[in-house]
Every structure is written in structure tokens, then in C-alpha cells.
Structure 1
Amino acid sequence: MKPNIEVKQLLDDESKHLEKLHAIVEETIKSEQLIVQNLLNPPIEEITEGQAISDKVAKFGGSWKFIIIFAVILTVWIIFNTVMITKYRFDPYPFILMNLVLSCIAALQAPIIMMSQNRQEEKDRKRSENDYLINLKAEMQIRSLQQKMDLLLEEQIRTLIDSHTKQIYLLNEINNKLERLSKK
């Protein structure tokens, strides 16, 4: 082979190799666009007025502020109805009205907190879907890198085999020339 033809062949091989790499990159970008679009533009969450109220009630009902205010009100209620003159007591011992109020609060607060927990569960589900999409994107990037590495290794092996073949060819030519010179 002539040196010009060899150089041209190497350049052609290199351009084919670059085209393969560009194709892998383009394929990866196209695959990731949908995932990135979903992550950057999540669907807008529409909250009804009832859901907003249940979130606020659950947030307040599960706070120290609620516990402290509730404990203070119960303590004042008990002290007032125990210490005051019989005429001003509105709920004498055994505090039946207080038990009724506590039961009503618990009966109303429980389903409201359950609604809020259901909404939180939905938020957690959406968050886990986003995590899945992020993991999927990372997996696609790893696969793309693996394809690129495989392609590079394949090209390196091909280049090594070609250079080895050329070296053997040159060694054979040198050997033939040496044999001809030794016969003379």
C-alpha cells in the first residue's frame, strides 16, 4: 500500500468513528429530552379550598403551639369549674361538657388529618416518580458512556491490529530483501 492511500484510509476510518460517536450522543440527547422536560416542568398541582384547609388544620393540629394552647384551655376550664362558685360553673365535675367538646374535636380533626395525609402521600408518590426519572436519566447516561467506551475500545483494537498487520508486512518485506541480499 502507498503511504497516501494509508493516510487517506486512516482519515476515513477516523471520520466514520467520529460519526458513530456523534450518533450515540444525538440518540442520548433525544432520549433524555422527555425526562428533562418532565423534571423541569412538573404538572401544576391544583389544590381545592378544602384540601388547603385540611393541610392548614393538620399542620396546626400537629404542632407544639396547638398542644400548648389546648393544654392551657383545658387547665383553665378545669380550674374555673372546680374553684368557682356554683353559680358560675358551667361544667361541674365530672366535666361532661368538656368530654363532649374533646370528643367533637377529635371526631372532626381525625378525618381532616387523614385528608392531609392522603395529599402528602400523593406528593411523596410524585417525588418518587421524579426520583425514578432522575435514576432513569442517569442510567441512560451510563449506557451512553458505555457505548462510547465500547466504540473507542473497538477502534483501538482495530488500529492495533492494522498497525500490527502493517508491521508484519514491513518485516516480511525487510526479511525478503535481506534474503535476496544474502543470496547475492
Structure 2
Amino acid sequence: MNGKIENHVCLVCKQSFPQHHLVPLGAIRSVIMEEIIKDYPDCSKQDFICKADLTKYRMQYVQTLLQSEQGEVSNLEYEVLNSMQQHELITKNTEGQVEQNWSLGERLADKIATFGGSWAFLICFTLFLTIWILVNTVVMVKQPADPYPFILLNLILSCLAAVQAPIIMMSQNRQEAKDRLRSQNDYQINLKAELEIRHLHEKIDHLLMHQWDKLAKIQEIQLDLLSEMSKKK
């Protein structure tokens, strides 16, 4: 009105500047306003800040974003490791757990079935048959204990097969129980691994969303600086 240039005091440096060298706090972006409020909690939107101090706060905000960007990766790794440490390990020794729940007869059946399906049993049984046949055909020619066609030997073999069948079935049932317990343990381990991987993917997606948001804010500040530079030109 009277032709004089109105001066105002900068909130930060406390120096007096013409109004066109100052920016009211109400016209500043909210994220930059929050940085200023940290240092000056009693400020209001009617206060002014010089462009040099405003640039300083803008750079301070960008630096804070970049520092938090570097720290989020390590924090993510820490959270994953911490979440895994808080839970009990699912991996178990299934063999030892099964051994504690079986009786002496079932363990004995398992050992007999193991021996019956080995080369040692096959060799011993072949030697037994060979000796039996030689004794009853060569050694005891006149009065053999089991003359040809070896009816007693056939009876022994039939009894052996009749006894061996249920023993093998008991061993198979025992092995099925082991396999079932092992498969349950494998399922729990796979499920935990899948949940951990899914949880990690969610955290990475969340981190990427924050990164895009921070980059957008940095670009907004850059645009503000570019617009101010163009006005000066």
C-alpha cells in the first residue's frame, strides 16, 4: 500500500527477509512440515521459513528416507530370523519315537523279517537244504530219516512258510507305521517352509510398496526444487 516491502522473520534462522524470499509453513508439504515440527513444535502455519532453510529440511527428509531404506532390509532379515527362532523346530527323529512305542514281540518280528529278507538267510537255507538232501541220499542210503521225496522236509518248509508269513506282515505293519509318521513329519516341515516363504514374500511386497511411496515423495520434493529454480530464472 505505502510502497514498502514487507519483511518477515524466518522461523529457523531468525533473520529478517522480504516476503518473496520466504515461504509460509502452510504452503509446505506435510512431510516437510513434520520435519520442521520436530525441531520447532510451537510453530504454526502462519510462520515463515526462508528458502535456504526450507532446502535444508528437504534434503534432511530425503536423507532420512534413504537411511530408512538401507535399514529396512536388515530389519526384514531380523524379523524373519526372529519369527523362526520363536517357534519350536518341527524336525523330529521319527525312528527313535517309533522305537519307544513298540513291544518286544514286534521288535523281534522286525529283526526276524530283516534276517529273512537277507542274503545270509538265503545262503544258510540253501546250505541246510543241500545238507539235508545229501544226508538222506548219500550218507544214510540204507535207512534214511527222510527218504525221497523228502516228506519231512516238505513239512518243515510248509511250517516255516506258515510262520514266516505273519512275521513278515507284522514287520510290514511296523514299517508302514514308520512311513506314516515320517510322512506326517515331512508334511509339517513342508507346511512350515511354505508358510515362512509366503510370509517372506508378503514382507518383501510390503517393503517394495514402501519403496515406491518413498521414491514418489522424493520426486515431489525434486519437482518443488525444479519449479523454484525455474522461477528464479
For the superposition of Structure 1 and Structure 2, which TM-score range results when normalised by the shorter chain?
0.7 to 0.9
Residue 85 of structure 1 and its aligned partner are, at CA, apart by: 3.0
Residue 173 of structure 1 and its aligned partner are, at CA, apart by: 1.6
SS in structure 1 at match of 2:152: helix
- 1:182 is matched with which residue? none
More strand by share: 2
Q: 2:142 aligns with which of 79, 86, 91?
A: 86
Counterparts in 2 of 1:10-159, with a 5 A limit?
11=64, 14=68, 21=76, 26-27=82-83, 29-30=85-86, 33-34=87-88, 36=89, 38-40=90-92, 44-45=97-98, 46=100, 47-83=102-138, 84-87=140-143, 89-159=144-214
- In the alignment of these two chains, the number of paired residues is 173
Distance 1:169 1:9, change over 3 A: closer
Contact preservation (8 Å) 1:54, 1:115: yes
Q: 1:162 aligns with which of 214, 217, 223?
A: 217
**1:2-45 deviations in Å (ceiling 9; x for gaps):** 44477369748939968x84666655554xx14x1x32465733
SS in structure 2 at match of 1:39: coil
Q: 1:7 aligns with which of 60, 77, 99?
A: 60
Q: What percentage of residue pairs aligned between the two structures are identical?
A: 45
**2:175 corresponds to which letter in structure 1?**
Q
Contact preservation (8 Å) 1:17, 1:155: no
Contact preservation (8 Å) 1:54, 1:112: yes
- TM-score normalised per structure 2: 0.63
More helix by share: 1
- Flag structure 2 segments of 5+ consecutive residues without an equivalent: 1-31, 33-53
1:173 partnered with 2:228: yes
- Flag structure 1 segments of 5+ consecutive residues without an equivalent: 179-184
Cα distance in structure 1, aligned partners of 2:142 and 2:201: 85
**2:91 corresponds to which letter in structure 1?**
L
RCO higher in 1 or 2 (8 Å CA, sep ≥ 6)?
1
**2:142 corresponds to which letter in structure 1?**
T
- Cα RMSD (Å): 2.9
**1:55-101 deviations in Å (ceiling 9; x for gaps):** 110011001111111111111111211222332x1111111111110
